[in-house]
Chain A
Amino acid sequence: MPPTIKDLMSQIRSHVKEVTPAEVRARLDRGEPFTLLDVREKEEVDQGHLPGATHVPRGFLELRIEGLVPDRKTPIVAYCAGGNRSLLAAEGLQRLGYENVLSMAGGFTQWRNEGNPVVVPRRLSEADRRRYSRHLMIPEVGEAGQIKLLGAKVLLVGAGGLGCPAAYYLAAAGVGTLGVVDFDKVDESNLQRQILHTVDRVGTPKTESARKTLLALNPAVNVVPIEARLSSSNVESIFRDYDIVLDGSDNFPTRYLVNDACVLLKKPNVHGSVYRFEGQVTVFHPPAGPCYRCLYPEPPPAELAPSCADAGVLGVLPGVVGLLEAVETVKLILGVGDSLVGRLLHYDALKAEFRMLKLRRDPKCRYCGDGVTFPGFVDYEMFCASPVSVAP
C-alpha cells in the first residue's frame, strides 16, 4: 500500500530536525548567522514574512538554492505557513547536500500568533505602476527603488529659488513626504524663479502656495507646510522626522544653523547656492565628507557680506542648481551612484562649464571633528552679524 501524506511527513521528520518559532526568535535576537528561507508562494509572502527572510517558493527551491546559498554547510531554517511544506523543502535541500537544514514547526502562523515581529512588504499599487512606469524601467530604481522613494522623507529649507524646483521634481518622483519650511510670503519679484508660486498667490504664505502646487502635481505626496522661521529652538524638532535635509536657504545664519543641526542629527545636508550666473552644489555628511564649517569655519564679516538686495540672480540658475540638489537627494534615497559627499560641483552658466573641486573633512572641525562633542547651537544672527533676508 502506498504511504499516506501522514506517513510521508513522519518519515521525513525522522531525518529532518524541527525548531520552534521561539528558538528561531532567540537565534535572530542573538544575531546568529543563518539563512532564513521562506518557501511560501508570493501572495502569502506579500501578507507578511519574518524579518530578514529570503523568499524562494518551494516549487523553485532546488533550482535556485545553489545561486542563493552556495556553501552546503550554511545553516538554514526553512519555514512555510504551517510547517509541512518547509519539511518537504528541507528534505529537498538535504538531498542536494545541505547539511544544516531545519524546518520551523508551526510555520509563519505560529510565529505570528506568538506575537513575534512580522514584516509586511510594501507593494506598488496599479496606479503607482502607471505613474512611475519610467522609473520602474530603470534597473537602478525599479520597484524596490520606487518603494524607497515613496517611503522617503525630505525636508526643504526654503520654498524659494532652489527649494521650488527641487520640491517640484521630488514630488513628481514620488518622494512620499516633503516638509517645506519657510516663514515668508509670496512676492511678485519671486515669480521670476520660484516656480511653485503663482500670480494669484502673491501675499500668501509660500509654504501653503508650495503645498497647493505640489499636490496638484502629485496628490499622493504628504506635503507638510511648516510656516516658521528656522531657529536654534525649533530646528531639532523640525529636522528630526526627516531622512534628508535639502538646504535652499539664502543667508548665512540659516546655512550655519542647518549645518549644525544636520551634524548633530547625522542627516545628509544637500547644499546648493547661487549667485548671478554661478552655482555650487555639494552634500555635507560627515564623517564621510566635510560639513559646511569644515569648508567655511566662519561667515564673512558684515562689511564683506553686505545685504545685496540688488545682487540678483539669473532666474533659471537656481532651477539648475535646485535640480542638481534634487538629483543628489534621489541618489541618496536610492543608494545609487557616487554622491557629491566630499566634492563641490561648481557651475558657471556664462561659460557653460561644470567643474569639480575636492573637499575634505577637517579632523579639527569644532562641529564634526574627530572625538568632538557637539558644542551646541549658537546665536546665528550674532555669529553672522547680518540680518536674515528673504528667500532666494
Chain B
Amino acid sequence: MSVKVRIPTPLRPLAGGRDQVQVAGATVRAVLENLEKECPGIRSRLCDERGELRRFVNLFLNDEDVRHLGGLDFPVQEGDVLSIVPAIAGGAQRCAAGPPCR
C-alpha cells in the first residue's frame, strides 16, 4: 500500500524541501513509521513519546480527521492522501511544529 503524504510548509525542511512524499504502509501508524525513514526527525514533531498524535497536529486521511476514523491504526488504501495540518498561529511570525528559525 502506498499513500501520498502532504508535508506542510513548516515541516518541509525535514523532508528535504519536498511538499509531498510517497510512503508505503498498511495503517496510518505504519505510514508515519516509514515517513520517519524518509524524513528523519519528523515523527517526533507529530507524535509524543507514547507514539500517539500530538494535540496540536491533525492528520487527515483524504478529507477525514484520523482521530475520527479511530486513530493511527486505521487502515489506508492504495492512493490515499495523508495530510499533516499543524496549528498555525497566524501571520508572518509563528508556526506550530515548525523548525527553529533562529
Identify the A interface with B (CB < 8 A).
158, 160-162, 248-252, 255, 273-278, 280, 295-300, 304-313, 318, 344, 346, 348, 350-351, 355-360, 386, 389-392
Q: Please report the number of residue pairs spanning A and B whose Cβ atoms sit closer than 8 angstroms.
A: 137
Whether A307 touches B19, Cβ cut-off 8 Å, given contacts A296-B56, A297-B55, A357-B85, is no
Residues of chain B lying within 8 A (CB to CB) of residue A276: 9
- CB of B86 to closest CB in A, whole Å: 8
How far is B83's CA from A392's CA once the two chains are assembled, in angstroms? 25
Residues of chain B lying within 8 A (CB to CB) of residue A250: 89-94
B45 located at the interface, meaning its Cβ lies under 8 Å from any Cβ of chain A in the complex: yes
**A359 and chain B: residue at smallest CB distance:** B65
B1 located at the interface, meaning its Cβ lies under 8 Å from any Cβ of chain A in the complex: no
Q: Is the interface of B mostly helix, strand, loop or mixed?
A: loop
| Chain B 48-102 residues near chain A, CB threshold 8 A | 54-56, 58, 60, 63-65, 68, 83, 85-98, 100-102
* A299 x B88 contact (CB < 8 A): no
How far is B56's CA from A295's CA once the two chains are assembled, in angstroms? 8
Whether A390 touches B93, Cβ cut-off 8 Å, given contacts A306-B100, A358-B65, A360-B65, is yes
* A255 x B89 contact (CB < 8 A): yes
* B90 x A162 contact (CB < 8 A): yes
Size of the B side of the interface (Cβ < 8 Å), in residues, is 32
Which 4 pairs between the two chains have the least Cβ-Cβ distance? A392-B91, A250-B90, A308-B101, A250-B91
**A344 and chain B: residue at smallest CB distance:** B85
Residues of chain B lying within 8 A (CB to CB) of residue A359: 65
- CB of B63 to closest CB in A, whole Å: 5
* B94 x A161 contact (CB < 8 A): no
How far is B10's CA from A239's CA once the two chains are assembled, in angstroms? 32
* B92 x A278 contact (CB < 8 A): no
Greatest chain A CB density within 10 A among B58, B63, B90, B93 is at B90
How far is B95's CA from A277's CA once the two chains are assembled, in angstroms? 13
B8 located at the interface, meaning its Cβ lies under 8 Å from any Cβ of chain A in the complex: yes
* B98 x A306 contact (CB < 8 A): yes
